[in-house]
Structure 1
Amino acid sequence: MKGEKAKQFINNILTPMDIRINGNRPWDIQIKNPKFYQRVLSGGSLALGESYMDGWWDCNALDEFFKRLLEYRIDKKAKSLKPTILWAVFKARFMNLQRGARAFIIGRQHYDTGNALFKVMLDKGLNYSCGYWHNARNLDEAQTRKLDLICRKIGLKQGMTVLDIGCGWGGFAKYAAETYGVKVKGVTVSNEQAGYARERCKSLDVTIELADYRDLNEKFDRIVSIGMFEHVGWKNYKTFMAVVHRCLKDDGLFLLHTIAGNTPSRDTDPWIGTYIFPNSMLPSASQISRAAEGLFILEDLHSLGRYYDRTLMAWYDNFTQNWDRLKDQYDMRFFRMWSYYLLSCAASFRSRRNQLWQIVFSKQGIDRVFRSEGELFIQP
């Protein structure tokens, strides 16, 4: 299909979503290269993202464009799989892309992109996960409230030992050690994160290691994993839970903070997997619960997905407003790629296609009452 036929086909797809080609509304797309239509028809979501990175099309409100695509369930309405998508699905289903030998790829490709980027995009504590905007006025407050929310949910007390799986730049480790007087061990697969976290926590009872979670084998009073489970992969969910069970004391608590999908998945969006989070995928409620069965009791599940839209838009604002501080290190194609990433992800939460959950697990059960937006949670 070429030329005007390809354009008409794309137009017929977009019309039910109230998206116009070269329209005058913020979410309408502006086509700069007539080869766009055939490229997207041939390459699906990967080509859609790559053609945007190449400047073949524009949109004043990418987040609203994607919200309409996702609400319409464009992925479910596709008649057939393109070869590039079929290969991505094959790899995800029949190869363990997150096996130990590949565990550090995400660190090198994404988290080692450069601390300068994340310093201007994130809050002052460099927390790269959903903020808790309940009674928060800005991003810094939302992230601090998130950290304290986690600490209270697991009932931290002075002197406890805490394991942080996927510790990032040490935001939680620093906050928990300073505020609650606990001893924290953090592990990450990113060299950039490990070095930065060690430096910022050097005066605290905090240890940061560059390590794969599968190598952990010591006991802790509490374990948290904040925004890391998305990189574990469906073939390893049970292994991850078994490692946490092995490392958690019998009377301990484990809090899992993760992006999630509404249905089980064994693959990821080809563009996201290629350019942003290699070998990543979102777990569903059933996949998480099956992985935890026989190991943990699920004590509480708190849905925070509506806050991720606001978090991502705050990151986007920080990124674009501070681009002058970054443009000597990154080119315009990176700017378009990163904008596409942040705004499409914001739309995924706005349309409720993606979720964000905090789940508290115990090994033997606890006799405490949880509340959600009413606060309080666990009392030590």
Structure 2
Amino acid sequence: MNMPAVERTSIGFDEASPSHRFAADLLAEADIQLNGDRPWDMQLKVPGVIDNALSRGNLGLGECYMNGDWDAERLDELFYNLMRAQLGRRIKPTQLVYHSLRARLLNRQTAKRAWEVGEKHYDLGNEFYAAMLDQRMTYTCGYWKDAQTLDEAQEAKLDLICRKLELKPGMRVLDIGCGWGSFMAYAAEHYGVECVGLTISKEQAEFGQRLLKHGLPIEFRLQDYREETEQFDRIVSIGMFEHVGHKNYREYMNVAHRCLKDDGLFLLHTIGKNIANTATDPWIDKYIFPNGELPTLGQVADAAEALFVVEDVHNFGADYDRTLMAWCDNFEASWPVFKEQFGEQFYRMWRYYLLSCAGAFRAREIQLWQFVLSKPGIVGGYTRVS
């Protein structure tokens, strides 16, 4: 990845400088020391890191890390401490005002721009993701209630969804944002349903052709969700709503409403944030998930209003911490295979992504919700599954 060099100033190692003192005092509130000797302490390698972080927020901090300008043995713990202390809410870098306004005012998730995340993130290569993920290639939060391994946690999550949807043989299921088809394959194998999956990733669609060779009744469609018009007995969307954007939430719900039969169920699985009117993290937006946006609980409910009855809400966001740490372990173990292909800066970028997100979930700064929705409401109520 080619990244413009981060500007380096003469300030950084001078412990008497105002910016260094301010940062040191602030980090102390999160039990983090500059050049301390604990695994979660920041080790500054060059001048300029502090000023970049103060002026450009996580964009500056992340780019400095990618360049090797600073390090921490336990990035996940560093970010846990930062976010648990809610320091980010107290620093508003002036250079990020434009990013915030742009995210609020523009529709960055139009049908045309929706393909960007597929090209930049999901099309890194099926071999790369196969090495990092579980054996089914499930790129969403596992369910660790009774699981000991990543494979067990992901299979438990897939089965949980099938049971929540009350799947029965012969049903047709639409999977909006189907990834590599792990849910569709599992549901077809274990519950006897037929599945249609929508993806904007060419790599994922190509991988889907391999599943067809196993004779499973599943279909991959390389298309935007807004183009779908067929009706289905059930709809599932696992980890795709984060790419929809607040200006499109209502349209997304309208699509799900028109595609779901009147007696059907819709399960929405999405990461969410605690506070509305907060912009997408600029580093994540630039390097990992372009045009992504996390919804709040209220935004999901507002988008579903008068279209669906919310039958059930289940939060197991703490399980994403363990999932991300398992992915990072797999990534580290397989890195020698991909080192020459991607390079050192990608390695540091990917570690920063996985471990900073693990810290955020550990701090409960972000959540993972599963909603079960019906069109008219279930007479007598919905039976909770866990």
What residue number does 1:109 align with?
A: 120
Matches for 1:190-205 after TM superposition, within 5 Å: 190-202=201-213, 203-205=215-217
Q: Residue 147 of structure 2: which of 136, 151, 161 is its match?
A: 136
Deviation at 1:137, TM superposition (A): 1.5
1:76 maps to which residue?
89
1:316-358 deviation per Cα after TM superposition (whole angstroms, max 9, x unaligned): 0000011112112110110100000000000111000000011
- Partners of 2:167 and 2:250 lie apart in 1 by 26
1:220-231 equivalences in 2 (<5 Å): 220-231=232-243
Matches within 5 A, 1:214-293: 214-265=226-277, 267-293=279-305
- The answer to whether the 8 Å contact 2:284/2:290 transfers is yes
1:213 aligns with 2:242: no
Does structure 2 retain, via aligned residues, the 8 Å contact 1:92–1:266? no
| Residue aligning to 2:3 | none
Q: Contact between 2:10 and 2:47, CA under 8 Å: does it hold in 1? A: no
Selected match of 1:169 from 180, 190, 195: 180
User: How far 1:113 sits from its partner (Å)?
Assistant: 1.2
Q: How does 1:288-327 map to 2 (within 5 A)?
A: 288-327=300-339
Residues 266 and 281, structure 1, Cα contact 8 Å, conserved in 2: no
CA contact (8 A) 1:265 1:283 kept: no
Give the secondary-structure state (helix, strand or coil) at the position aligned to 2:237. Answer: strand
Aligned to 2:34: 21
Task: Give a deviation string over 1:350-372, Cα, whole Å, max 9, x none.
Answer: 00000001100000111354335
**TM-score normalised to the size of structure 2?**
0.94
Q: What is the CA distance between 1:273 and its match in structure 2?
A: 0.4
> Cα RMSD over matched residues?
1.3
Greater alpha carbon shift after TM alignment, 187-196 vs 40-49: 40-49
Residue type of the alignment partner of 1:40: A
- Secondary structure of the residue aligned to 1:104 is helix
- Indicate if the aligned counterparts of 2:311 and 2:374 stay in contact, CA closer than 8 A: yes
Q: Which residue of 2 aligns with 1:44?
A: 57
- Alpha-carbon deviations, 1:14-60, whole Å to 9, x = none? 11111111111010011100222222223221000000000000000
Secondary structure, counterpart of 2:342 in structure 1: coil
Quickly say closer, same or farther: Cα 1:266–1:295, change in 2 above 3 A: farther
Return the offset for 1:73: 1.1
Given that residues 234 and 266 in structure 1 are in contact (C-alpha distance below 8 angstroms), is that contact kept between their aligned partners in structure 2? no
2:6 aligns with none
Tell me the alpha carbon deviations over residues 56-109 of structure 1, each in whole angstroms, 9 at most, x when there is no partner.
Answer: 00000000000111011122111x4322x1121121111100011111001001
Unpaired runs of at least 5, structure 2: 1-8
| In structure 2, C-alpha distance between the alignment counterparts of 1:158 and 1:118, rounded to whole Å | 31
Unmatched tracts of structure 1, length 5 or more: 376-380
Amino acid in structure 2 at the alignment position of 1:8? R
Amino acid at match of 1:33: V
- Counterpart amino acid of 1:163? L
| SS of aligned partner of 1:26 | coil
Residues 44, 82 of structure 1: 8 Å contact kept = no
Residues in 1 aligned to 2:370 and 2:256: alpha-carbon distance in whole angstroms: 16
Task: Tell me whether 1:12 sits opposite 2:25 in the alignment.
Answer: yes
How far apart, CA to CA, are the structure 1 residues paired with 2:21 and 2:113?
Answer: 43
CA distance in 2, matches of 1:266, 1:39: 21
Q: CA deviation at 1:2?
A: 6.0
Instruction: Spell out, residue by residue over 1:265-292, the C-alpha distance to the aligned partner (whole angstroms, 9 max, x if none).
Output: 4620000000001111110010000000
- Kindly provide the amino acid, as one letter, of the partner of residue 219 in structure 1: Q
Q: Which runs of 4+ in 1 moved over 6 A?
A: none
Counterpart of 1:131, as a letter, is: G
2:165 match: 154
SS at match of 2:185: helix
Does the CA-based 8 Å contact 1:116-1:326 persist in structure 2?
A: no
Q: Which SS does the other structure have where 2:348 is aligned?
A: helix
Preserved contact between residue 66 and residue 344 of structure 1 (Cα < 8 Å): yes
SS at structure 2 position matched to 1:100: coil
SS at match of 1:268: coil
Q: Secondary structure at the match of 1:329?
A: helix
Q: Deviations over 1:151-185 (max 9, x none)?
A: 00010000000000000001011111111111100
Q: Percent identity?
A: 52
Partner SS for 2:162? helix
Amino acid of the residue matched to residue 123 of structure 1? D
Match of 1:378 in 2: none
Q: Which moved more, 1:164-173 or 1:256-265?
A: 256-265
TM-score after normalising by structure 1: 0.95
SS at match of 2:310: strand
SS at match of 1:20: coil
> In the alignment, residue 230 of structure 2 is paired with which amino acid?
E
